[in-house]
Structure 1
Amino acid sequence: MNFFEMCLEFQTDVSDVEKALSSGDPGFVLVDTRSAQAWGQGRIPGAIRLEGARLDPAVPVVTYCWGPGCNGATKAAAELTRRGFQVREMIGGIEYWIREGFPIRTDDGDKLGEPDPLTAPVRALDCGC
């Protein structure tokens, strides 16, 4: 297996995660590795917090954190892998989730922003990747 095939085996991106979550049966549990304070600021709908989570090793996991400048999702993925979980890291984190215009859940409800034209297609169904 080459490096790029390995990347696809161990990483996913926000568009693929959103598409899977929208299907109603993503085939994984989405795990937010950030702090309680960060969780309170906003999270991906359907995600659970790593802290205190009861995960089933038979169910694949996708981890995420703040964004490319944070390795919290990588650290969590490494630890979960050591514990026998099948894990992928969502590259881009919640930063790119937001930049692509996907919804964020807060205690006050869901919020939807506009896609950032520098990181996501505007008025398109997908990026074509």
Structure 2
Amino acid sequence: MPSPSLVAEIPAAPSHLAAEHFARRLSLETDCWDVQESLKGAAGDFVLLDVRGPAAYAAGHAPGAINLPHGKITARRMEAWEEGTLFVVYCAGPHCNGADRAALRLARLGRPVKLMIGGMTGWADEGFAVVTGNDAG
């Protein structure tokens, strides 16, 4: 009998554990497509934060994103939004941990947060519109 492939060598988790795992991931993350599609609607049920520096934001950001560098996320600054506001954060992309830092700050402040996986790299890979300048657009 041939030995199992590298994929099958470690058995897959039971389905109930896989369901819990992926549900947990989706409670912490969203992707560029879901954000872009949601921005088309009028729901307004989240705030999109570009947590890179102002120069990177001005060079190109997702339409509707507000620039708030992760180092400037403070309790006082977050008072601008109602408690319970959901924040979606992104940075440059998979090579950047700015969004993780922002998500951690927000979570420690008791704010609901999701990370937009892929960041601006993912946004560009999807071919979505990019706004330049200092306005959310």
Place the TM-score, normalised by the shorter chain, in its bin: 0.7 to 0.9
Tell me the equivalent position of 2:12. Answer: none
How many Å apart are 1:26 and its aligned residue?
3.8
Q: Does 1:75 align with 2:101?
A: yes
**Aligned ranges for residues 43-58 of structure 1 at < 5 Å?**
43-51=61-69, 54-58=80-84
What whole-Å deviation, never above 9, does each CA across 1:72-128 have from its counterpart, x for those lacking one? 10110011011011000000001111111110001399xxxxxxxxxxxxxxxxxxx
In structure 1, distance between residues paired with 2:96 and 2:24? 21
Larger radius of gyration: 2
Q: For 1:67, give the aligned amino acid.
A: G
Query: Per-residue deviation at 1:37?
Result: 0.9
SS in 2 for 1:8: helix
Higher relative contact order (CA 8 A, sep 6+): 2
Structure 1 stretches of 4+ moved >4 Å? none
- Flag structure 1 segments of 5+ consecutive residues without an equivalent: 110-129
The AA in structure 1 aligned to 2:133 is D
Structure 2: runs of 5+ lacking an equivalent? 1-18
Deviations 1:30-59 (A, max 9, x none): 000000110111111100011466333321
- How many residue pairs end up in the alignment? 109
Query: Residue 47 of structure 2: which of 7, 29, 46 is its match?
Result: 29
In structure 2, give the amino acid aligned to 1:12. T
Structure 2 length-normalised TM: 0.73
Whose strand fraction is larger, Structure 1's or Structure 2's? 1
With structure 1 as the length reference, what TM-score do the two structures score? 0.77
